[in-house]
Amino acid sequence: MAHNSSSRRRPNILITGTPGTGKTTTSSALAEATQLRHINIGELVKEKKLHDGWDDTLDCYIINEDLVCDELEDMMETGGNIVDHHGCDFFPERWFDRVVVLQTDNTVLYDRLSRRGYTGQKLTNNIECEIFQILLEEAKDSYPEDIVVALRSDSIEDISKNVEMMSNWISSWNPVV
């Protein structure tokens, strides 16, 4: 459990994984099922301009991690959040009670990313990230092992099963006293 979760009535969950693994779909469905707040970091960065410009090579914003953490601090302390982001190593460990790493078969992931318009280096980098389980290792290095869970996310059935399992976990969650 997170170090300071006793002040929260509802848990905070980080849903992470390579782009295309179903983070936003899963987070949205889980938020709807549990009434927790879904925070999509990519959208928050765009909306609040929490970035240091645009990376033309990777075709994305350069996230200012300090600004993101400052923006989220009060919300995270209250609890009841599902944070959706492809990285996890810059968030404070104390924020999360569960870290879920979504994983997808490389063939399925390749098709999903290609449909999104990913090409060249951006496509290759993301597929390699999944092959080498970079985000799972990042999560295990950044958070206590007992709160990190890897879940398969190849299909709608997987997503439904994951949402049900996480909903049950949320229902049985108790803050650390």
Q: In the beta sheet, which residues pair with residue 51?
A: 63
Pick from 71, 78, 56, 61: nearest CA to 12: 78
Instruction: Extract the runs of DSSP E, i.e. beta strands, from 87-152.
Output: 98-103, 148-152
| 9 annotated binding-site participant | no
| 24 annotated binding-site participant | yes
| 119 annotated binding-site participant | no
Amino acid present at 105: D
Instruction: Extract the runs of DSSP E, i.e. beta strands, from the chain.
Output: 12-17, 37-40, 51-55, 60-63, 81-84, 98-103, 148-152
User: Beta strands 81-84 and 37-40: pairing type?
Assistant: parallel
**24 vs 19: CA distance, rounded Å:** 10
Q: Three-state SS for 150?
A: strand
| 48 annotated binding-site participant | no
Residues of each annotated binding site for ATP: 20, 22-25, 116
Residues of each annotated binding site: 20, 22-25, 116
